[in-house]
Structure 1
Amino acid sequence: MPTPRKNLPRPATPLSPEAWVKAAQALIIREGVSSVAVEPLAHELGVTKGSFYWHFDSRDALIKAALADWEQDQSADVVTRYGGIADPRRRLRVLLFAAFEDVENGLFFAALALSGEDPRVAPFLRRATERRLAFGAEAFMALGLSEAEARQRALLAYAAYTGYFQLLRATPKAVKEVTDLSGYVHQLADALVPARSPRKA
């Protein structure tokens, strides 16, 4: 969490740094990373810019905090939330449905992907992707698949996730006309998660 700047007077109605982070994340979902700016966010939150500078040194510091919050929740904490499901088949299916049903974070990811070459975004996007792929591959390997097959299925699942939300962000009407989300995930899970563990030679 950013350290308060002691040389500034505390705002009369200060907002927490978390409030600024959530507002920045909502703006990123709507308009992308480049849209994050102090003045319009302060106006949207109904406060002065002084509230912002009590917690953050710059716009880039806020963007970094918003990305760090997303990375922790959507990659590092995933293992804690779902790693305890003993049955790897159930773990995979639960993880797939949870990922696709979290539309807000899916759209946040899609917005970040559009700025993947931004040096502020790239490290967070890379780490989150690596953790998600590794977690998926581990679950597939626990079903008895080879490492190569497990990694491939994890990549297919992640590609389906990223593609779905990028299309949903760009052309929501067209996506919703093709399939309902539940049906899409059911088909994906049935295609990627084996009904039984493969026999070992």
Structure 2
Amino acid sequence: MAERATPLLHRDDPEKAPLVGHVKVTREDWLNVARDILVSDGVSEVKVLAIGARLEVSRSSFYWYFKSRKDLLNALLDDWEARNTAVILRHCAMPADSITQAVCNFFRCFVDERLFDQGLDFAVREWARRDGAVRKRIDLADQKRLGAVTAMFERHGYTPYDADARARILYFMQLGYHALDQTEPMEERLKRLEGYLEGFTGVRPAPEECAAFRAHVAGREG
């Protein structure tokens, strides 16, 4: 996995409106740095003083946006779901002429870190090992994601049983691939695209579908 870049703060983003008055940072800034610490160091290191030091502001700024550290942690979980779960649901619901094209849509979530943040996903899963409430949120998110992948297969004619089994194979394989921290170059992975698609769906993909996916990946890398 590549080293995680320093998060872009609101005040440093030229596309955002400039801050006015005595406001130095925004709620988004606090969340950006908290997320970065969560991924790099774990939830135990997500502390108000540490975040304030990185933002170069006093802790009083924190309380403009959050009631407490617990409130910040809940906001981090909401942010994780809005980022990682929502993107899978959207891509599974995208129109597709075939199941292999639909699986390519699913794959698109994972070839762009701006869509699915794998570091964030596994940081939250590690957090859940020590917090029952977070474990429940992980379980609910996985149910939603699996439901979306299952529905994707069902729309293309698979029985509920087959759709459920194939959805689990596809989803858990994808998460497991990242959990193993594979460093295989994308070029090597793409060489297996046709085999992956046929293995997951039982259907040989059309050449134009594979070409379109490879072009999409090339466009993201470019």
TM-score for both structures, normalised by structure 1: 0.77
What does residue 171 of structure 1 align with? Answer: none
**Contact persistence 1:28–1:36 (CA under 8 A):** yes
Report the CA distance between 1:46 and its aligned residue.
Answer: 1.7
Give the aligned partner of residue 129 of structure 1: 142
Show CA shifts across 1:32-75 (max 9, x none).
22221111111111211111111111111111101101102222
Q: 1:145 aligned to 133, 136, 158, which one?
A: 158
**Relative contact order: is structure 1 or structure 2 higher (C-alpha 8 Å, sep ≥ 6)?**
1
2:188 matched to 1:163? no
Partners of 1:22 and 1:66 within 8 A in 2: no
Count of residues in correspondence between the two structures: 179
Aligned ranges for residues 1-201 of structure 1 at < 5 Å?
12-80=22-90, 82-89=92-99, 90-102=101-113, 105-117=117-129, 118-168=131-181, 175-176=182-183, 179-181=184-186, 183-184=188-189, 186=193, 187-195=195-203
The AA in structure 1 aligned to 2:73 is: I
Give the direction of change, closer, same or farther, for the CA distance of 1:116–1:137 in structure 2 (3 Å limit). Answer: same
Dislocated runs of 4+, deviation >3 Å: 76-82, 181-185, 187-190
1:5: which partner in 2?
Answer: none
5+ residue gaps, structure 2, are 1-20, 206-222
Q: CA RMSD in A?
A: 2.5
Question: Structure 1 unaligned runs (5+)?
Answer: 1-10, 169-174
**Counterparts in 2 of 1:88 and 1:63: CA distance versus 1, 3 Å:** farther
Aligned counterparts of 2:54 and 2:124: Cα–Cα separation in 1 = 22
| Matches of 1:96 and 1:196, distance apart in 2 | 17
TM-score normalized by the length of structure 2: 0.70
Bigger drift between 61-70 and 82-91 goes to: 82-91
Query: What is the one-letter code of the residue matched to 2:39?
Result: I
- Which of 145-154 and 182-191 deviates more? 182-191
SS in 2 for 1:99: coil
Tell me if the contact between 2:98 and 2:156 (Cα under 8 Å) persists in the aligned partners: yes
CA distance in 1, matches of 2:164, 2:187: 24
